[in-house]
Every structure is written in structure tokens, then in C-alpha cells.
Amino acid sequence: MAISVSQIPHGDPNVDQLYAETRDLRLNGFLLFMVSDLVLFSSIIFAYLYLRNSGQGWPPPGFSRLDVAFAAFNSVVLFGSGVTMHFALENWKHGNFIKFANWMVATIVLGAGFLSGQGYEYWTLYQKMHVSWSGSGIFGASFFTLTGMHGFHVFAGVIYLTVLLLQATNGKYTQHKHFGLTAGTLYWHFVDVIWVLLFSIFYLF
């Protein structure tokens, strides 16, 4: 609805340029939210690296290295879900709802698969190697805090994507107005990319 924008004066090239740029602000807000979430992860990662380099070597005496092969498999599951999410949004933009829904379901299943994999890994660590959150010094503390925080993000993401799929099914979004889906995709990519970092610092280097 056109309301009360002043007459833009003539002759000043700066004047209406900024106004024309004004777009949907939610995207900017959401990106900034992701930045602050990244800082949250970075701080805990800093804490982990600080503790890891505080002297006794890593893994600390008495602990064995984490199971890299299984983690690689589980990581591939999560990274794959990022790719399927990308296809889901692409198909939505092209107006292909059936394919969108299929890729969304694939993403949600892969995300849930990653969570089960992580649950299996926790269970193995706890049962076979007696590594726990509070009882295993800084090793357990940093590992379970960081992966748990990430796992919580994945869990929230799986729920978020399910809600988005239901909303899309009920016709909340159109081919051109679908900020919710964009935000969901951004969030899911964010969770994947954080895992690239966590996977590297816990399992690889």
C-alpha cells in the first residue's frame, strides 16, 4: 500500500537510492542471528582448543581416540542432508512441489539418521569406554558439550524442517514468497557447516 513517502527531491543522486534498496529485512536479521550463533559455537570451540592445548596431550592419558571411520560415515549422512536440502529449495523455486516434498523428506530422514548415529556413538563411548559428560575430565566435558550443543541444533532443525514441510503442504508459501523455506535452508546449511568444523577438530586434527 502506498503511503506517505515524501516527494523525492530532484537533483540529488543519493536521495532515493537507499530507499530503493530497502527489502525484506527478515533475511538480514536471520543472517545476523546465525552470526551470533556462530560466535556461541566459536567460544566453546575456543574453550575446547584452549583446554586441549593446556599440556597433557590429546587425547588425555587414559582415553583412546574417537572412532574416525564411524564419524566419517555419520558426517557424510549429515552433509548429504545439506545437499538434499539444497535440491528441495531449488525445486520449490521452480514450482515443483512433489520433488520439493521428496527432497525435504530425504533431508529430515538423513538429519534424524545423523542424530541416531550420534546417539549410537554416545552409547558406545559411555558403555564400552566409560566416557561421560561430567566424569571424564576435560575430554568428556568438551566433547559432549560441543557435540551435544550441535546435536541439539540438529534436533531443533529436524523439527523446524518438519514444520516447514507441513506449512508448505498447507499452502503457506508461494513460489516467490517463501522466506520461511529460505531461513530453514540457511539454518540447515549452518548446522552442516558447523559440523565440518567440529568433525575436523574432534576427529581429524
Partner 1 sequence: MAVAAAPTHGGGVADHIHPEPHSFIRRYIFSIDHKIIGIQYIVTAFLFMVMGGLLAELIRVQLMNHSGTFVKPDTFNELYSIHGSTMVWLVIIPLLTGGFGNFVFPLQIGARDVAFPWLNMLSFWIFPVAGLMLYSSFLMGAPVAGWTEYPPMSLLGGPGTSMWAAAIFLIGVSSTLTGINFLVTILKMRAPGMTFTRMPLFVWGQLATAPLLMIATTALGAALAALFIERQFGVPFFDPTRGGSPVLWQHMFWFYSHPAVYIMILPAFGMISEIFPTFARKPIFGYKMIAFSTVAIALLSFMVWAHHMFTSGMAPFLQLPFMILTMFIAIPTGIKIFSWVATLWGGKIHLTTSMMFAIGFIATFTFGGLTGVYLSAVPFDLHAHGTYFIVAHLHYVLVGGSLMAIFAGMYFWYPKMSGRIMNEFWGKVHFWLFFIGFNATFIPMHWLGLLGMPRRVAVYDPQFQFWNQFASISSFVMTAGILVFFINAIVSLRTGKKAGANPWGARTLEWQISSPPPYYNFKKVPAVLAAPYDFAEPLPYRGLEGELDPNVPAPVAAGH
Partner 2 sequence: MNILSIEHYLAIIGAIIVTVVAIIALKNDWKTPGLENQVFKVMLGLLALGGVLSFFAAIGVLGNFGGKA
> Which one of the spans 40-48, 84-92, 155-163, 191-199 is the region binding partner 1 (CB under 8 A)?
40-48
Q: Compare residues 117 and 180 and give the one whose CB is closer to partner 1.
A: 180
In the complex, minimum distance from the CB of residue 14 to partner 1, in angstroms, rounded to a whole number:
5
Q: Compare residues 41 and 79 and give the one whose CB is closer to partner 1.
A: 41
For 186-195, b/e burial (b = at least 16 CB within 10 A) is bbbbbbbebb
In the complex, minimum distance from the CB of residue 128 to partner 1, in angstroms, rounded to a whole number:
21
| Interface mask toward partner 1 for 120-139; x: CB under 8 A | -------------xx--xx-
Cell of 161: 524442517
For 96-137, give the DSSP string: -HHHHHHHHHHHHHHHHHHHHHHHHHHHHHHHHH---TTTSH
Angle ∠(141,145,150) on CA atoms, nearest 5:
155
Q: Compare residues 123 and 133 and give the one whose CB is closer to partner 1.
A: 133
Kind plus residue range of the DSSP H or E element containing 141: helix 137-169
Q: What is the CA radius of gyration of the chain?
A: 22
- Distance between CA atoms of 203 and 65, rounded to whole angstroms? 8
In the complex, minimum distance from the CB of residue 112 to partner 1, in angstroms, rounded to a whole number:
26
Which residues form the interface with partner 1 (CB under 8 A)? 1-16, 18-26, 28-29, 32-33, 35-37, 39-40, 42-44, 46-47, 50-51, 54, 56, 60, 133-134, 137-138, 140-142, 144-145, 177
